[in-house]
């Protein structure tokens, strides 16, 4: 990457070189199609200065520098395009899966539960827990949110077989949430897991499951800088409320 080349020769670059690089950084897409004279005029320097700047970075001249810039920006654009496609596909797959799923058993668990508790294994999951609590309150359903990193051991002595616990995890194989699910299963407490669609331990430990499609995507050209979209969890929360209200209405008729 060009930025790595800049870092390698950073101390050898003059103030003028740094100002040229600052211009390139700010106008990458424009510089791709500019001539050496265009860049020189934009930076208020001579074409020779632009040539020397390119050579300091290890290129034979400005043309080779511009080619490397084009390759880099094309690569980043391709990465962003792929990331967009993956996120949209994951949302589409999740929505289609939810539309085909029969929520009757889940709705009955919620309706007949003595108490409903909810726990999320991460920061975003905890926000979704609060959102579900707020949504279901409008339908007259009280959901107790742990809103904590760990569950107090005393909880397992207080919970009964009449209660239901909703567990939210993106990985599905989180050691902490798997431990919680095992303890609840051993006490015959029914659980509803909202987790990734894969053969996770949560699938076997939970009474009912709501699956989402989700994967990490590149956020920049750096392959180690990955982003995991979590917005679908909020959609699942709203969809669950709609299905529950619909189920309740059908039960009354």
pLDDT per position as a tens digit, 11-35: 888 999 999 999 998 888 889 889 9
> What confidence category does residue 144 fall into, taking pLDDT thresholds of 50, 70 and 90?
very high
| One domain, residues 62 and 118 | no
Q: Is residue 23 part of a domain?
A: yes
Q: What pLDDT, on a 0 to 100 scale, did the predictor assign at position 234?
A: 95
pLDDT of residue 66: 87
Task: For residue 210, give every residue at least 6 positions away whose Cβ sits within 8 Å of its Cβ, in sequence order, or none.
Answer: 98, 101, 106, 192, 193, 194, 195, 236, 240
Do residue 164 and residue 209 come from a single domain? yes
Confidence of residue 70 (pLDDT cuts 50, 70, 90): confident
163 with 238, same domain?
A: yes
pLDDT per position as a tens digit, 71-109: 777 766 666 677 777 788 888 889 988 999 999 999 999
Write out the two tokens for 27.
């106008």
Bigger pLDDT: 163 vs 87? 163
Structure tokens at 198: 């894969």
Mean per-residue pLDDT of the chain = 87
CA dist., res. 84 & res. 195, Å (int):
22
Query: For position 221, what pLDDT does the model report?
Result: 64
Segment 219-246 shows an average pLDDT of 86
Q: Which residue has the higher pLDDT, 67 or 16?
A: 16
Domain count of the fold of the chain? 2
**What's the predicted TM-score (pTM) here?**
0.69
Q: What is the pLDDT of residue 184?
A: 94
| CATH at residue 33 | 1.10.10.10
Q: Is residue 95 part of a domain?
A: no
- 16 and 109, same domain (yes or no): no
Say which CATH number the domain at 136 has: 3.40.50.10490
Phi, psi of 52 (to 5 degrees): -65, -35
- The domain containing residue 11 runs over which residues? 2-77
- Residue 58 pLDDT > 80: yes
| Per-residue model confidence (pLDDT) at position 201 | 79
Q: What is the mean pLDDT of residues 118-127?
A: 90
Residue 219, pLDDT above cutoff 90: no
- pLDDT on residue 40: 94
Handedness of CA 228, 231, 235, 237 (dihedral sign): positive
Q: In the prediction, which pLDDT does 202 show?
A: 83
- Quote the pLDDT of residue 25: 85
Neighbours of 187 (CB within 10 A): 13
Which percentage of the chain shows pLDDT scores above 70?
A: 91
pLDDT computed for residue 75 by the predictor: 65
Average pLDDT over residues 141-146: 93
Integer Cα distance of 75 and 79 in angstroms: 6
Question: Is 167 inside any structural domain?
Answer: yes
94 in a structural domain: no
Domain end point (choices 27, 62, 77): 77
Q: Are residues 173 and 230 in the same domain?
A: yes
**What was the pLDDT predicted at 166?**
97
Q: Is the pLDDT of residue 172 over 60?
A: no
Q: Which helix (H) or strand (E) holds 166?
A: strand 164-168
Residues in the chain: 253
Q: Are residues 122 and 184 in the same domain?
A: yes
CA 34 – CA 18 distance, rounded (Å): 19
Residue 200 lies in a domain: yes
Whether 133 and 181 have beta carbons less than 8 Å apart is answered as no
* Identity of the highest mean pLDDT range in 51-65, 184-198, 236-250: 236-250
CA dihedral angle for residue 129, residue 131, residue 136, residue 141, rounded to 10 degrees? 40
Query: What would the two tokens of residue 203 be?
Result: 């699938």
| Together in a domain, 43 and 151 | no
129 within a domain of the structure (yes/no)? yes
Is 149 inside a domain boundary? yes
**H or E element at residue 65:** helix 62-100
More confident residue, 122 or 187: 187
* 191 φψ region: left (φ > 0), alpha (ψ -120 to 50), beta (else): beta
The answer to whether residues 119 and 165 touch, using CB atoms and an 8 Å cutoff, is: yes
Q: Which residues on adjacent β-strands are paired with residue 144?
A: 117
């Amino acid at each position: 990457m060009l930025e790595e080349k800049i870092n390698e020769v950073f101390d050898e670059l003059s103030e003028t070189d740094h100002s040229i690089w600052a211009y390139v950084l700010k106008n990458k897409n424009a510089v791709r199609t500019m001539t050496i004279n265009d860049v020189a005029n934009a930076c208020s320097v001579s074409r020779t200065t632009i040539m020397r700047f390119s050579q300091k970075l290890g290129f034979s001249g400005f043309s080779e520098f511009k080619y490397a810039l084009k390759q880099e920006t094309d690569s980043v654009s391709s990465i962003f395009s792929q990331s967009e496609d993956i996120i949209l596909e994951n949302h589409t797959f999740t929505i289609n899966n939810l539309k085909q799923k029969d929520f009757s058993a889940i709705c009955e668990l919620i309706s007949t539960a003595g108490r409903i508790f909810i726990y999320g294994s991460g920061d975003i999951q905890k926000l979704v827990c609060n959102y579900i609590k707020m949504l279901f309150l409008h339908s007259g359903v009280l959901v107790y949110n742990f809103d904590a990193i760990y569950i107090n051991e005393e909880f397992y002595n207080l919970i009964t077989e009449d209660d239901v616990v909703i567990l939210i995890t993106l990985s599905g194989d989180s050691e902490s949430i798997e431990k919680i699910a095992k303890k609840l299963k051993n006490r015959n407490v029914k659980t509803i897991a909202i987790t990734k669609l894969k053969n996770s331990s949560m699938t076997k430990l939970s009474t009912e499951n709501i699956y989402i499609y989700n994967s990490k995507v590149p956020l920049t050209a750096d392959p180690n800088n990955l982003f995991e979209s979590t917005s679908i969890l909020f959609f699942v929360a709203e969809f669950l409320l709609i299905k529950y209200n619909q189920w309740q209405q059908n039960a009354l008729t």
